[in-house]
Structure 1
Amino acid sequence: MKLSAACVVAVDVGSVRTGSFAWAAVDMPGPTLTAHGDDPAGAAGALSAALTDGASAVLALEAPMSVPVPGDWKLLGKGRTGEGNRAWSASAGAGALATGLAQGAWLLAEVARALPGLAATTQVSRWRGAADGGGAPLLLVEAFVSGEGKPVPTALGPHAADAEAAARAVAARLAGEDGTDGTDMTCAPQRAFSLLAAQARWAGLAVAGDELALDVLVVRARPAG
């Protein structure tokens, strides 16, 4: 499904104290880099400003944002389909997940405070402007920047480069420009526990209850060229 007008804000989660946190915003179509920073308040402000102006917006967190919960306990901790050798439960993924939970919840709470009653969704088909005419202007997705998809660090540093790469990859996927349809990773056939939906509900955003158990869109950044 091709969607065109939106602001995509991507966050490279990491330690705020040590300068490992970064965010970047791109406007679709294009995508055109419009803003970037190394502070969570700036990321929340960019999202709120886009939504206040009546545009659709996307928040992409670079951390595992859905996990499989199997019926068979022997499969607990098993990686998602599409993760390869970088399972969400491995040390790097688990660390990013924990950090992303706190930072994502804070960001969404700030947006909810600025825009009371705002609706959010993890489902592209429910996003405002989707084919079914859904009314949620804020889409929540997961970005994955690793391996061959990792960009060359810019003068702004590797974390800013990762955030920009994530934002551009998500924008390209939603605009139907990267040749890939759908998600790069899924919890299926196991039941999904959506951390994005849980964060949004905790923050006070309006999110459909069934989204707690629905897979989220995961977009993997790919090599340029």
Structure 2
Amino acid sequence: MGEVRVVAVDVGSVRTGSFAWAAVDVPAGGPGLCGYGSDPASAVASAAEALAAGRRAVLALEAPMSVPVPQEWEQLGKGRAGEGNRAWSASAGAGALGTGLVQGAWMLSELGRAVPGLTVTTQAGRWTGGDARLLLVEAFVSGAGKPVATVLGQHAADAEAAARAVADRLGGEAGTDVVCAPHRAFNLLAAQAMWAGLEIGADELETDVLVVRARPVST
């Protein structure tokens, strides 16, 4: 797979200090934390640094980034398979979705400026096959997978947990933990990438994204 940088973002208010990111480099020897911060600009800079050096990268947003659009109106707002009792349409999920849309769009637009000609995908198979340099995924950090807060705070801990979970998933089978099926998916990551003017397959608008759930820490 080569060396990859995973930048995970704990979506939240930049005004109140609820935004955090962490970056993990994934060499052959295993993941190591290589950076963290509390603003979107430095998150972009971390991903752009790796891409400018000719490496591949992953940007993970901790917010619902693919939502089901059922054919029957009675099922609108229905949770995704794998979410459990934390549906994307509940108050916390819906709030993170709205914030993540704006923050993700901004970061992707800035990445496009920093790395001209950047190719993007939300499909792990296309990324591993070399069709795109940046993979966009959704991180899911809640419940038993939520880490203990560090000296940097809960948001920083969540971002690091997300980055490490995504890095671990890339080293094995990149299967998703949450899906919109049997309903049609609306891929919000693909929509953000298109808005930002990045090169991405139009068919991805209707595909599920890779959702990586952070697992409980073993003791």
> Fold match, TM over 0.5?
yes
User: How many Å separate the matches in 2 of 1:190 and 1:5?
Assistant: 36
Q: 2:170 aligns with which of 168, 174, 180?
A: 174
Query: What one-letter code is carried by the residue in structure 1 that aligns with 2:178?
Result: M
> Could you say what secondary structure the match of 2:204 adopts?
helix
The 4+ residue runs of structure 1 with deviation greater than 4 A are none
User: How many Å separate the matches in 2 of 1:147 and 1:53?
Assistant: 37
Shift of 1:115: 1.3
2:200 alignment partner in structure 1: 207
User: How many Å separate the matches in 2 of 1:108 and 1:181?
Assistant: 22
Is structure 2 residue 183 aligned with structure 1 residue 190? yes
Is structure 2 residue 77 aligned with structure 1 residue 84? no
Count of residue correspondences? 216
- TM-score after normalising by structure 2: 0.96
Q: Identity of aligned pairs, percent?
A: 71
Instruction: Write out aligned runs for 1:110-129 (5 A).
Output: 110-127=110-127
For the 8 Å contact 2:124–2:174, the answer to whether it is kept is: no
- TM-score after normalising by structure 1: 0.94
User: How many Å separate the matches in 2 of 1:219 and 1:41?
Assistant: 24
User: How many Å separate the matches in 2 of 1:35 and 1:114?
Assistant: 18
> Could you say what secondary structure the match of 1:26 adopts?
strand
For the 8 Å contact 1:4–1:174, the answer to whether it is kept is: no
Shift of 1:117: 1.6
Question: Unpaired runs of 5+ in structure 1?
Answer: none
User: How many Å separate the matches in 2 of 1:98 and 1:48?
Assistant: 24
User: How many Å separate the matches in 1 of 2:174 and 2:125?
Assistant: 13
For the 8 Å contact 1:88–1:94, the answer to whether it is kept is: yes
Instruction: Write out aligned runs for 1:134-145 (5 A).
Output: 134-145=130-141
Is structure 2 residue 71 aligned with structure 1 residue 75? no
Q: Which whole-Å deviations, capped at 9, do the CAs of 1:164-196 have from their partners, x for residues lacking one?
A: 0000000001111xxx65000000110100000
2:154 alignment partner in structure 1: 158
> Could you say what secondary structure the match of 1:219 adopts?
strand
Q: 1:21 aligns with which of 8, 19, 22?
A: 19
